[in-house]
Amino acid sequence: MTSNGLRIFNSAIRAVISVILLMSACTASALAQDQSQLSDKVYTYSIGCWWRKFIVDKLITLNISPGVSAKLMEEDGWGIKTINNLAISMGDFAKNHGYGDLEAAESANNNDRNANKPQVESMVDALRGKVGFTLNAASIKGSPSEWDLIHRYMSTIGDQLGSSSFKPKGNIAIVTMVALPTAKDVSVSVTPDGNHFTVTVPTLVEPSEWDSKIQHGMENPKPAK
């Protein structure tokens, strides 16, 4: 290749890389905007509950496809309702494990929620590293059948997080749900410290007794490999 040809080739490579980086930045920006809109919708759905909005903003991470994002945004289906219920369960986790009662704090002083907003935001900030939920579903298109499974998996994980019988080591539970079209069954693993759970779930098949497998797996998780 001549020096001129090499320069053209290098310029083309740099252009491609720039486009990829720009697309990645745009995708990240879109996801951040979607999550902000999602938390606003939860605030409206919950009739003005700040602490649920803050949990969605600060303790829930979404690595999802546009199709799944659209399902989460649905106000008349299982989108906003599922995220709202997950936030409630994470609030229950905080209360059950001695990190404070978010609803009691926000409804104090004759239910003056706006005046209590800074306090509950500080309480949610303090929950970082204590409880969290991440949904990894970037490879899922978000078809009705896929979403039907995903939102039910999320609800079951939330129920387990909010259960008074759930007692993870150190009173810490950071849960990542990985939705995969290639998975055939539910599996649950945990890091050696007992705090970081990975729940892998299939989206093209519905395994038998999957809810019991999630519950049992989170109570008796296998060490991550």
* pLDDT single digits (tens) 117-170: 999 999 999 999 999 999 999 999 999 999 999 999 999 999 999 999 999 999
pLDDT at 35: 85
Domain count, the chain: 1
10 is a domain residue = no
Determine the structural domain holding residue 42 and report its residue range: 31-223
Flag whether pLDDT at 22 surpasses 60.
Answer: no
178 is a domain residue = yes
Q: What is the pTM of this model?
A: 0.84
170: left (phi over 0), alpha (psi -120 to 50) or beta: left
Q: Which stretches within the chain are classed as H helix?
A: 3-45, 50-58, 66-72, 80-96, 102-106, 108-111, 113-125, 144-162, 210-219
Instruction: Tell me the C-alpha distance between 9 and 66, whole Å.
Output: 34
* pLDDT tens digits, 51-105: 999 999 999 999 999 999 999 999 989 999 999 999 999 999 999 999 999 999 9
8 is a domain residue = no
Q: Which of 102, 109, 126, 128 is nearest to 49 (CA)?
A: 102
